[in-house]
Amino acid sequence: MMSNAATLAVENLETHFLTKAGVAKAVDGVSFTVGRGEVMGLVGESGSGKSVTGFSIIGLVDPPGEVVGGQVLFNGENLLELDEERMRKLRGNRIAMIFQDPMMTLNPVLRIDTQMIETLKAHDAGIKDDEARARARDVLGQVGIPSPDERLKAYPHQFSGGMRQRVAIAIALLNRPDLIIADEPTTALDVTIQGQILYEAQKLCRETGTALIWITHDLAVVAGLADKICVMYAGRIVEQGKLDDVLDHPVHPYTVGLLGSVPGHNTRGHRLYQIPGMTPSLLKLPGGCAFKERCPRADAACDVHPEITEPVAGRQVRCCHPHLEGQAAS
């Protein structure tokens, strides 16, 4: 049907928080697409707007936050125009989000089997109990949970952090949604474990054609696993493109900084270089480029807010002095 169109096309999304101290533009003109079976890594430091981007897509931004602009086209339909009832239906069926706090997905007082069977029944009221249980067991196994039959009887607190995230992914996958947005838990799970979990999720999404957005603060987690990457800084995507291309030749000074100590493909499992300075508060952004105060390339030209350009084919960048030295001709 819509084989060429992206599953999700976010266009110029803007989400603001209207606080007493001022307006925080948590998401400020964000655009990207994710296609069937495609994996997109959404990467950025704490507070850069990754979770708010996810919440904006699924219509779960609460006051004082508000989506104030843009479009979220899901299979061609603008989600920002749907009523709450339709949106809730989509969330249960076609779109799933794995929250940064897994306990937002998991009910602490219910056994895993009860939660999984309920999820299946919400989608397909006619499904028989033993059929639902068998499917729940299969999906748990698919996300790498050992002895799924036994684990079905456990409660969420009986799982480790990494296993709990796998359970949340299993629940998200149950109804074979078109889109999964997975927000990595903040509780410092090992980069290697995150990579393993993403590996399983990616494999399954490729098989089912599910589009997957993997939110992480650590570029090393998505290295080698995502198809494309969006790097966020202070509410904006500063660089996006095919993952391998970006890792091989980052052009935005922020991405270059992130990759400073780990250039090339072999970034998995390495710790990232810390860029000197702090993420600016969204309420006190410098005029022009938000990265200005930390950027070794900053000059007077950066006092103007940089527009998105495509200095290299297939790469969108917000910077007036991108690193194009040594860039393969394109």
Is there binding between residue 102 and ligand ATP (CB under 6 A)? no
One of 8, 13, 26, 39 touching ligand ATP (CB under 6 A)? 26
Is there binding between residue 10 and ligand ATP (CB under 6 A)? no
| 189 backbone dihedrals φ, ψ, rounded to 5° | -75, 145
**CA geometry: angle at 239 spanning 235 and 243, to 5°?**
125
| Ramachandran sector of residue 31 (left: φ over 0; alpha: ψ -120 to 50; beta: rest) | beta
Assign 237 to helix, strand or coil.
Answer: strand
Q: How many angstroms separate the CA atoms of 177 and 209, rounded?
A: 9
CB of 31 to ligand SF4, least distance (A): 18
Q: Which residues bind ligand SF4 (CB under 6 A)?
A: 253, 289, 291-292, 295, 297-298, 302, 306, 319-321
Q: How many angstroms separate the CA atoms of 93 and 262, rounded?
A: 39
Q: What is the DSSP letter of 5?
A: S
Residues near 194 by beta carbon (within 8 Å), at least 6 away in sequence? 162, 184, 216, 218, 221
Is there binding between residue 51 and Mg ion (CB under 5 A)? yes
CB of 283 to ligand ATP, least distance (A): 7
Stretch touching ligand ATP by CB under 6 A, among 44-52, 262-270, 300-308, 315-323: 44-52
Using CB distances below 5 to 8 A depending on partner kind, what does residue 282 bind out of ligand ATP, ligand SF4, Mg ion, none? ligand ATP
CB of 41 to ligand ATP, least distance (A): 13
- The residues of the shown chain that bind ligand ATP, judged by CB under 6 A, are 17, 19, 24, 26, 44, 46-52, 64-65, 100, 186, 217, 282
- The residues of the shown chain that bind Mg ion, judged by CB under 5 A, are 51, 100
